[in-house]
Amino acid sequence: MDAANRHDKILNLLNSQERVEVEDLAALFEVSLQTIRTDLRDLAARGALSRVHGGAVRVSSAANRAYAERRKHNATAKQAMAALLAEVIPDNCSLALNIGTSTEQAARALENHRGLTVLSNNINIINLMMGGETKELILVGGTVRQSDGAIIGEDAVEFISRYKVDYAVIGASALDEDGAVLDHDAREVSVARAILKNARTTILLCDGSKFARSAPVRICGLPDLDVIITDHMPPTSFCQAASAAGTRILCANSNRNQNESREND
C-alpha cells in the first residue's frame, strides 16, 4: 500500500475515533513504526491531524472545547480542588493564576483570603476577584484571546518577568503518565512557563480527566512542580514519577498525598 492510500485510511479511522496509535497503524498496514511516524508527520504538516505522543488525534479533538462548555465539565471536582488549594494558600501572600476554568474556581475559593496580591493573565479571574478591599489585582498586559479572555504572547511573558510571586497556580489541558504537563496553544504555554519560572512555590491544579486527553505542547515536567492538586489519585506510574521528582500530590476527594495508601481508591 502506498503512502497516499495509507493517509486516506488513517484519516478515515480518525473520522470514527478520536485517536490512532503508531503501533496499531504499523500492524494494520504491515509497515515499520518509522513509516507510520513519517505518515503522521506529513498529515500534520497538511493540518489534517494533530500529532501527540505515540500517535495522532483529530484536529477537532486537539482544539480546546468552547470555554463555556469547559466551565461545566467536572465542575464539582474543580470546586473541590479549589477548596483544597484555598487551604494551601495563606493570607498575606502573592500569587499568579493562569488561564483556565480550574483556576477560575481557585479565584472563587480565595474570596475570603486577606492581604493577597494576585497576578493573572485571565481577565475572568480579575473580574471575579474585583471588589475585595483586601486584595491587590494585577492584570497581565498583552494580546487578548477573545474566546476565553486569556492574555497571551511575548508581551505577556515580558510583563510577568517583572514579578516574583510566592505561589504560581496553573492549569493544563492534558497530563501524560510520564509526568508531562501539556496544553494546545504554544503562546499560552509560554505564559504558563513564565508564571512558573517567576514563583517561589509552583502548583498544578488539574482534574484526573486530563489523563484521558491529549495535547501537543509541553508546559513543564514534574520536577518543575512543588504540588499537584487533583480530584483523585493519578496512575501509579505518574505517582512514582512525582515521588522521584519530589512533587507532592494532594487529592481533593480524600486529602491524601502520594505517599499514603491507595486502598479504597
| Same-domain status, 98 and 217 | yes
The answer, yes or no, to whether residue 63 has pLDDT greater than 80, is no
pLDDT bracket for residue 133 (50, 70, 90):
low
Specify whether 43 is located in the same domain as 92.
no
Q: What is the mean pLDDT of residues 201-217?
A: 90
pLDDT greater at residue 203 or residue 232:
203
In a shared domain, residues 210 and 176: yes
Mean pLDDT, residues 178-206 taken together: 94
> Cell for 217?
505542547
Question: Are both 208 and 164 inside the same structural domain?
Answer: yes
Q: What CATH number did the domain enclosing 182 receive?
A: 3.40.50.1360
Determine what percent of the chain is predicted with pLDDT higher than 90.
Answer: 58
Q: Are 6 and 39 in contact (CB under 8 A)?
A: yes
* Domains held by the chain: number: 2
Please give the pLDDT value at position 1: 83
* Residue 259 belongs to some domain of the structure: no
Judgement on whether residues 29 and 153 belong to the same structural domain of the protein: no
Residues 24 and 105 placed together within one structural domain of the fold: no
Determine the average pLDDT of the residues in 53-58. Answer: 84
Contacts of 205 (CB under 8 A, 6+ apart): 81, 82, 85, 100, 102, 103, 106, 169, 170, 171, 229
Cα torsion at 218, 223, 225, 228 (round to 10°)? 90
58 and 140 assigned to the same domain: no
Same-domain pairing of 113 and 50: no
Same domain, 225 and 127: yes
| DSSP structure string for the chain | --HHHHHHHHHHHHHHSSEEEHHHHHHHHT--HHHHHHHHHHHHHTTSSEEETTEEE-HHHHSPPPHHHHHHTTHHHHHHHHHHHHHHSPSS-EEEE-SSHHHHHHHHHTTT--SEEEEESBHHHHHHHTT-TTEEEEEPPSEEETTTTEEESHHHHHHHTT--EEEEEE--SEE-TTS-EEES-HHHHHHHHHHHHTEEEEEEE--GGGGG---SEEEE-GGG-SEEEESS---HHHHHHHHHHT-EEEETTT---TTS--TT-
In the structure grid, which three cell numbers stand for residue 86, read together?
A: 484555598
Average pLDDT of the chain?
Answer: 87
Q: What is the CATH number of the domain that holds 36?
A: 1.10.10.10
Q: Of 62, 80, 106, which residue is a domain's last? A: 62
End-to-end CA, the chain: 47
Predicted confidence (pLDDT) per residue in 234-247, tens digit: 999 999 999 999 99
68-77, 89-98, 138-147, 207-216, range with the lowest pLDDT: 68-77
Residue 214: name the closest of 14, 12, 6, 5 by CA: 14
Domain carrying residue 57: 3-62
Q: What is the bridge-based pairing of β-strands 217-220 and 181-183? A: antiparallel
Distance between alpha carbon 255 and the CA centroid of its chain, in Å? 21
pLDDT tops 70 at residue 149: yes
pLDDT value, residue 258 = 40
Residue 76 CA: distances (Å) to CA of 80, 105, 124, 143, 209: 6, 10, 19, 31, 13
